Structure 1
Amino acid sequence: MARPSVAEERVGQIVEATIRTIAAEGITGASLGRIAEEAGMSRGHVRHFVGNREELLRESARRFYYEGTEGESILPAGTADVAGAVDFFFSEEFAAPGNDNVVVLGFVEAARSDPALADLLVSAYQGTHVLLARLLAAEHPGAEPEDCDSVAYGVVGIALHNVFLSDIASAATGTETARTAAERLIATLPS
């Protein structure tokens, strides 16, 4: 396997520093200066490798959402069935409160004023919805496509609701309740 280029290594370091900075400082505190300091580089080097702050946030979001995932989806690569998707959505990794939630909310806040970043985030969640609808249709051949689409939308909505509330409410009871709701919604589809 070929060694990554120095530029690719630097971009990776800068993206990781961006994610850490957003987690620690929020999106408003994630200035190029703070990110550069976290990356152990000069601000000029950060701009050289990733461009301006908006370009950096877009690249960071792209990697945050898509590295190790199933296409344009937030589901992990290799998610082959509905049970695997549900297990992921209501796993400790996805549902637990913490820094990832801070980062996601930071990207959402930044997307309000950056249409390209907004498109990236919408694509990640719509891609998840579309993939889940395909998995549901494969497992429920008697279901109408629009019903699979609606159930997929509902399951993704339940999962995201659970994640965002987990920072301010009990994740232990909320996740179990949310998973049960998602499973009941899926059970409405005919086989």
Structure 2
Amino acid sequence: MARPSVAAERREQIIDATMTTIAEHGIHGTTLDRIADAAGMSRGHVRHFVGNRDRLLLDTATAVFADESGEVGSILPGGVDDLTGALDYLFGPVFSSPDRENAVVLGLVELARVTPEIAAVLTTAYTATRVQLAGLVARARPDAATDACTTAAYGILSSALGTVFLGDFDADPSRVVRSRAAVDALLATL
């Protein structure tokens, strides 16, 4: 009887090691040798299971932004079905705390400037989020114009992302509360 393939398990292990390496060394310090060290395997094994560094970074970006189905989708978790839930998530402790995932996303944003495939993954994820937010705003404010709901969605997403990225160096404890208040003020204009 043949032994089951470990390829999927190894790919997951390597992608996790890639995220750790990006968080620790930045995107430009993320080499196959460092990833292999973090994964506890040889560089040859890393290449065998995931290919070259560019392919691995694209697979990592896809994994970071994948929804429950494995497709790149909204950054809002499944089950968020109203505006309050979306705002609670985007300005809550899980999303707004600086952590490994935020460091990885910042690295991917930097890489997206020169790598169209990475830019496409980020664009897909943030567009899906913005569209979902616009729909949630429209449901919460049924009298608001469609264009106003879309504009509010841009404002919500920009504020949430700015708050997260500022958290890497701005320790002001009121940062998240003030950003949420700014979004609430924006929504009050609809």
TM-score above 0.5? yes
Contact kept? 1:89, 1:95, Cα under 8 Å: yes
TM-superposition CA deviations, 1:27-51 (whole Å, max 9, x none): 1111011101111121112112111
Instruction: Please state if 1:174 is matched with 2:175.
Output: yes
Identity %: 48
Offset, 1:101: 2.2
Stretches of structure 2 lacking an aligned partner (at least 5 in a row): none
Compared CA separation, residues 66 and 137, structure 1 to 2 (3 A): same
- Three-state SS of the structure 1 residue aligned to 2:174 is helix
Compared CA separation, residues 171 and 16, structure 1 to 2 (3 A): farther
What amino acid is aligned across from residue 111 of structure 2 in structure 1? A
TM-superposition CA deviations, 1:77-122 (whole Å, max 9, x none): 1110101110011111111123222211111111122100011011
Stretches of structure 1 lacking an aligned partner (at least 5 in a row): none
Question: Would you identify which runs of 4 or more consecutive aligned residues in structure 1 move more than 6 Å?
Answer: none
Distance 2:67 2:51 in 1: 21
Offset, 1:186: 1.5
Distance 2:164 2:53 in 1: 27
What amino acid is aligned across from residue 23 of structure 1 in structure 2? A
The count of aligned residue pairs is 186
Contact kept? 2:72, 2:121, Cα under 8 Å: no
RMSD of Structure 2 on Structure 1 (CA): 1.7
- Three-state SS of the structure 1 residue aligned to 2:94 is helix
When normalised by structure 1's length, the TM-score is: 0.91
Contact kept? 1:133, 1:148, Cα under 8 Å: yes
Distance 1:27 1:56 in 2: 12
- Three-state SS of the structure 2 residue aligned to 1:169 is coil
- Three-state SS of the structure 1 residue aligned to 2:37 is helix
Contact kept? 1:95, 1:162, Cα under 8 Å: yes
- Three-state SS of the structure 1 residue aligned to 2:127 is helix
**Alignment-derived partner of residue 114 in structure 1:** 115
When normalised by structure 2's length, the TM-score is: 0.92
Alignment of 1:1-191 (within 5 A): 5-68=5-68, 72-189=73-190
- Three-state SS of the structure 2 residue aligned to 1:84 is helix
- 135-144 vs 125-134, which moves further: 135-144
Offset, 1:158: 0.7
